[in-house]
A and B are shown apart, each in its own frame.
Chain A
């Protein structure tokens, strides 16, 4: 069964460093998402991406964040200068089509720890 994959599973970084979180969505999916979950809290939407551009971003997704689909398979989230409060689990998700009924498939997540 196809699945969304994410690497690395755990990333530890120093405050101020840049990190890139990688995702490989399901191959025939067209819509891609990043969410984050601070420990013990709910999952929050960061950004959605379609047709090689951002379709919506939340207030969390400030200038320190960027997303890219550098090739036909990878979808990346970059944090330019990490802060302590960026420590969270980051989930990538993809869906095949629009509509309220299309399931979003989630990757296993990358746990980011900023020291």
Chain B
């Protein structure tokens, strides 16, 4: 089973509008972190935002917010006031923290390609 599912291969949004990118996850661990990364066409991975499993408040970073619904196991990224520079691939990722673990690798979803139209 996929640990991270991003069901939207591509999304389009008008400049200045808000957009939500979906992410659902699967884990049996109690402690985990959820991350969103942006990958522009140049290829680098840019960290945007994270949410810890014990955080009660939804994470926010500037125009980015994470809509965390723990019971539904979803961690959707909301980008407000989209800009042309937001056009990129967006990856949701999870780090599980099993008891006694020593790795904490990230597991990524397949990504959503966001296109912002002028």
Contact = CB atoms under 8 A, between A and B. Distances in A.
Given A100-B53, A103-B35, A31 B45 contact: no
A56 B95 CA distance: 14
Contact of B33 (A41, A42, A100): A100
B110 A42 contact: yes
B31 A103 contact: no
B50 interface: yes
A101 B103 contact: no
B45 A106 contact: yes
Interface in B48-102: 50, 52-53, 91, 93, 95-97, 101-102
A42 B104 contact: no
A109 interface: yes
- For A41, A99, A100, A103, which residue has the most chain B Cβ atoms within 10 angstroms? A100
A43 B103 contact: no
Interface in A35-62: 35, 41-45, 48, 50, 55-56
Nearest to B2: A42
Contacts, number: 72
Q: Interface size class for chain B? A: 20 to 34
Nearest to B49: A103
A34 to B, nearest CB: 10
Contacts of A102: 33, 104
Contact of A105 (B47, B52, B108, B109): B47
A22 interface: no
Contacts of A55: 102-103
Nearest to A109: B43
A101 B52 contact: yes
Interface of B: 31-33, 35, 37, 43-45, 47, 50, 52-53, 91, 93, 95-97, 101-111
Interface of A: 31, 33, 35, 41-45, 48, 50, 55-56, 89, 91, 93, 95, 98-106, 108-109, 111
Top 7 nearest A-B pairs (CB, nearest first) are: A100-B33, A100-B97, A106-B45, A56-B103, A43-B108, A45-B105, A108-B44
